Structure 1
Amino acid sequence: MSCGCRIDLTGIAVPVQEAVAVPRQSNEAPPESDLLPQPSAPDPRPMPRFLPWFVWGLGACLFGYGWFHRVAPGVMVDTLMGEFQVGGAVIGNLAGVYFYTYAITQIPAGLIVDAYGSRRIMAASALLCTIGALVFSMADGIVESFVGRLLIGLGAGPTFVIALNLAAVWCPRDRLALLGGLVMSFGVAGAMLGQVPLAWGVEAFGWRSSMYTAMLVGLTLTAGTWMVLRLPRPKPRAERPHGMAANIKSVLRRRDIWVLTLGGASTMAIMLAFGGLWAVPWLTQVQGFSRADAALLLSVNALGWGIGSPLIGWVSDRLGRRKPPFVGAMVMSVTTFAVLLLTPDLPAAAIYVLLFLQGLGTGGIMLIFATAHDRFAGGQEGLSAGIVNTGIMVGAASLQPLVGWVLDRHWQGAMAGGARVYDAAAYQSGLSVLIVCGVVAVLAGLMLPETSRED
C-alpha cells in the first residue's frame, strides 16, 4: 500500500510525502555521510538541467519496480502451486513475505535516509531487489522462492521514502507535492506491468523466463543508481535529527495513531489481499475469464485507485474535512466488493465497473495519511505515517494467507494442472473476510479525529 501512499496492488502500501522531515537543530557537527539536505538550501554547484529529473526519475522507477514485484505472484498462483506442489496457504505466505519485510523497513527507512541520504540506500535497495528477483526466478523449491521474495521486500521497502527525498533534494521545493503524486503514478504503472503484460509473458514464455527478464530490468536500475552515487550533491548536508526514541513513544501513546493504523489496514485489505493475490484465481476459476483478461480487470481496479487517490484528496481539500469523504469512499469500496463477490452470474461489463469503483473508493486511503499529517504536525508526520504504513503491510501479509487457509478448508478436492481449484462457495467463504475488513474501515472512519485545513 508498499502506500501518503497513493497500485501495489498490492502497495499498497501506501507511502507519504511527510516521510521527509525537517531535522531538529543540534550543536553537534553532522557525520561525514550523505545526510538528508535541507530542501531550501541553495544549489552549491551548477549542473545540467536534466540531471535532477534523471535522479528523481530513477528513484520513481525503482518504486514502480518494487510495486511490480508486489503484485507479480497474483498472476502466477496456479502456476506456482503446480511448480512447487503446495496449497493456497503456502502461496499466500509466499506473497505475504514481501509485505512482512516491506513493513519492517518503513520506520528504519526514514531513519537511514535522515542519517545517510537517499543515494546510498537507493543503490542498496536496487541491488537487493535484483538479487531477490534472480533467486526467485531460479528457485528449485519453495524455500528458495521465499528467500527471493524476502530480498525483494527488503529492497523495495524504502523506495517511496527514497523517491520523496530525491524530489526534495534535487528538484524545486515548490514541486514536492506534484512529484510525490507522480511517484505514486509510477507505482500504479509498475503494478499494471505486473498484471496484463506479466500474465502474457507467463503464458508465452513461462514464469521463470518472465521473472528473469524482470531481474534484468532491476540490473539496469542498479547500474543507474551506482552512476548517481558519483554525482556531486546539489545542496548542503543537514544535521542528524535526535530524539527518535522519545518521538516513537510519544506517538504510540496517542489513541489517534491506533485508529489511523486500523483504518489504513482495513482500507487496503481488499486491494492488497484480493487484488494482490486472489483476484486472478477467482476471476479465472469462478467467473471464467482467461488469465490475461483477469489481469486486465485488475489493471482497471488499479486505474480506479490511481484516479481515486487524487480525486478524493481534492474533494477533501475543497470541503476542508477528512471524515465525510473517507467514510463515503469506504462505503463505496466495501459495497461494490460485496456485490461483486456475492452476486452470481454478473455480466463482464458489470465486473469491470464494480472493480473500477472499488479501486476508486480505495483511493480514500490518502485521507488516512492526510489525517496523520494533520494530527501529528510538528515533527512527527513522517514517523506517524511510517507506523500507519507498517500496520497496512502487516495487515496485508496476514490476510493473504488467512484467505488461502479458509479456501483450503473449503476445498472439494478438484485439481487442474497440479494446482488446487476452489469453487464459488469456497471463494465466498474465504473472501468474505475482506468484506468484514471493509466494514471495519467504515467504523474506523467514523472514529477518525476530524481535522480541517486550518489545523
Structure 2
Amino acid sequence: MSGRAVFLLVFLPFALGHYLSSLIRTVNATLAPQLMAALALTPGQLGLLTSAFFLAFALAQLPVGMALDRWGPARVQPPMLLLAALGALAFSGGHDFAQLLVARALIGLGLGGCFMSAVKALATWVAPARLPSVQGYLIAAGGLGAASATLPVRLALQYTDWRGLFVGLAAAAVGIGLLIRVLAPAAPPASIRPAAATAPSAALAVLREVMRHPAFREVARLVLVPHMVFFGIQGLWISRWLTDVAGYTEQGVAYLLYLAMAAVIFGAIAVGMLTEWAGRRGIEPIRVAAAGVALFVLVQLGFVLNWRPSYQLLSVLFTLIGTITGIEYAIVAQSLPATLTGRGATCLNLLIFLGAFAVQAGFGLLVGCWQPNVLQQYPAQAYQVAFAVLVLLQLRGLLLFARGRWGREAQSGKIEHQSGSPATSSSITP
C-alpha cells in the first residue's frame, strides 16, 4: 500500500483505539475527587479501583496475542472494543465499590488489545527502518488520549457527571470498533501463523522463546520497571501528589495534568526521531533507552527530595521523559521475526501491566500508611517514601545494564587485543 493508504487504513483506525485506551486508563486521575467523594474511598481503595484496569489488561495479553498472530488485528480488535463498551456502560451504572471494580476490570479486558493490535498492524505494513518513528506517532496518539482525560474531561463535567461521561466513552468504543472493521485491511498470509502454532501449548512455548531472546531480556531488564512506574503513577498518583503535596486546586491540577499529558505527545515523537537519528550514527536504540531511563530516575529523585522550587516542572518532566519507556516496543519489534511481533508485544504488555497494577495499588497502600489531615490530604513524607521505593527498584535495572555492557565491551576489547598481538609482533620482527 502507499503511505497515504497505510495512514488512513492502518495507522488512523488503530491509533484511535489506542487513543481511547489511554484516555480511559488515565481518566480516573481527573475523576479521583468525585469518585472518592461518592464512594468514600481510601487511597488504597482508589489505587485498587484504578489499577483493576491494568490487571485485567495484563490477563488479556496472552489470549489476545495468540488471536492477533492467528487472525490479525482487523478481525480481533472490533469485538474487543465492544466488550470495553459494555464495561463502560456498567461503570456508568455502578453504585458501590465492588460494582465499579468489576466494571473497570471489564473495560481493561476489552481494551487489552488496542496497543498490541496497532503494533502488530504497523509491524505488518510499515518498513522496519520506519518503525521507531511511526510507533512514536502511535504513542503520541496515546498521549493525546491521556491529555484528553484532563482539561477536556473537566470541561465535559460541566455538562454531565462522570456517569454520563462513561456512556459517551462506551459510544466511542463502539464507533472505533466499527471504523476498524470497515477500513482496516486483512493481515497478509506471511504475518499469520497456522492454528497449530497458536494453540495454548505452542503459544506458551513461543512465549518462553521470546522471553529468552537476548534482545528481549536486555530491554526488559532495563526498561520494564520504569515503564511500569510510568503507567502506574501518571495514570493516578501524579494528580493526588499535586493535590496533597503541592496544594493545587482541582482546576490547577487539571491544567497541570493537561500539560503533563500533552508532553507525552511531544516526548513520544521526539523519542522516535532521536532513535532514528542515533541509528544513522551507529548508536543502538538500547543505549538511547538507557540514557532516557537515567534521566527518568533523576526526575523521580525530585519527588523523593520534595523539590519545592518547581512542583509544576516535576509533574510535566515525569511524563515528558517517561515516554522513553515506549522505545522497548520498537526494539523488540525490530529484533523478532514478523510472525512473532504480536507475541513479543504480548510479553511486554503482560509484564508491564501486571507491574503497573502492582505499582498503582502498592503506591496507594504505602501512602495510606500515614494519617491524612482534615482535608483528607496525605503528607509529603508519605509520597517521598513511596517514590524512594520506586527509584530503588529502577536503579537495579540501570546498574545491571551498565555492568553487562561494560563487561561485554571489556571482553570484546580483550579479544581484539589478543588477536592483534601476533600481527604487531610479526611486523616488528627482523
Note the residue ranges of structure 1 that are not aligned, 5 or more in a row.
1-41, 44-48
Percent of residue pairs identical: 21
Tell me what 2:414 maps to. Answer: none
Q: In structure 1, what is the equivalent of residue 250 of structure 2?
A: 291
**2:40 equivalent to 1:85:** yes
Letter in 1 for 2:87: G
Distance 2:187 2:224 in 1: 37
Verify the 8 A CA contact 1:103 1:390 in the aligned structure 2.
Answer: yes
Matched with 2:268 is 306
When residues 87 and 121 of structure 1 are mapped into structure 2, their CA distance, relative to the original with a 3 A threshold, is same
**Map of 2:239 onto structure 1:** 280
Residue 197 (structure 2) pairs with residue 197 (structure 1): no
Q: 1:448 to 1:356 in 2, by over 3 A?
A: farther
Match of 2:291 among 317, 328, 335: 328
TM-superposed deviation, 1:278 = 0.8
The corresponding residue for 2:223 is 264
Conserved 8 A contact 1:167-1:176: no
Does the aligned pair in 2 maintain the 1:87–1:408 contact within 8 Å? Answer: yes
After superposition, the Cα gap between the structure-2 partners of 1:172 and 1:279, relative to the gap in structure 1 and judged at 3 Å, is closer
What is the CA distance between 1:65 and its match in structure 2?
0.5
Deviation at 1:288, TM superposition (A): 2.1
Q: Comparing 297-306 with 56-65, which one deviates more in the overlay? A: 297-306
Query: Are 1:403 and 2:359 counterparts?
Result: no
The 2-side partners of 1:180 and 1:355 are apart by: 24
Compute the TM-score of the two structures, normalised by the length of structure 1.
Answer: 0.76
The separation in 2 between residues aligned to 1:441 and 1:301, in whole angstroms, is 25
Deviation at 1:157, TM superposition (A): 1.2
Which residue of 72, 90, 113 corresponds with 2:27? 72
Q: Which residue of 1 aligns with 2:175?
A: 220
Shift of 1:107: 3.3
Equivalent position to 1:388, from 333, 344, 348? 348
Letter in 1 for 2:292: A
Shift of 1:383: 3.1
Aligned residue runs from structure 1 range 100-249, under 5 A: 100-167=55-122, 177=131, 179-202=134-157, 205-228=160-183, 233=186, 240-241=193-194, 242=197, 243-249=202-208
SS at structure 1 position matched to 2:268: helix
Deviation at residue 249 of structure 1 after TM alignment? 3.0
Cα displacement (A) at 1:73: 1.0
Structure 2 residue 386 is the aligned partner of structure 1 residue 430? yes
What is the CA distance between 1:430 and its match in structure 2? 2.7
CA contact (8 A) 1:308 1:361 kept: no
State the TM-score, normalized to the length of structure 2.
0.80
SS of residue in 2 equivalent to 1:440:
helix
Which SS does the other structure have where 2:95 is aligned?
Answer: coil
Give the total of aligned pairs.
396
**Kept after mapping to 2: 8 A contact 1:260/1:388:** no
Q: Which amino acid aligns with 2:379?
A: D
TM superposition shift of 1:258: 4.6
| Residue 446 (structure 1) aligns with | 402
Task: Give the deviation of 1:66 after TM superposition.
Answer: 0.7
Query: 1:226 and 1:399 mapped to 2: Cα distance?
Result: 35
Could you tell me how far 1:266 is from its partner in structure 2?
A: 1.6
Distance 1:259 1:52 in 2: 32
Deviation at 1:204, TM superposition (A): 5.8
> Which structure 2 residue ranges, 5 or more long, are not aligned?
410-430
Contact 1:96/1:400 (<8 A) preserved? yes
**AA matched with 2:271:** S
Deviates more, 1:59-68 or 1:256-265: 256-265
Check conservation: 1:130, 1:215, Cα contact below 8 A: yes
Q: Is 1:338 the counterpart of 2:298 in the alignment? A: no
How much does 1:124 deviate?
0.7
Residue 250, structure 1, aligned to residue 209, structure 2: yes
Amino acid at match of 1:359: T
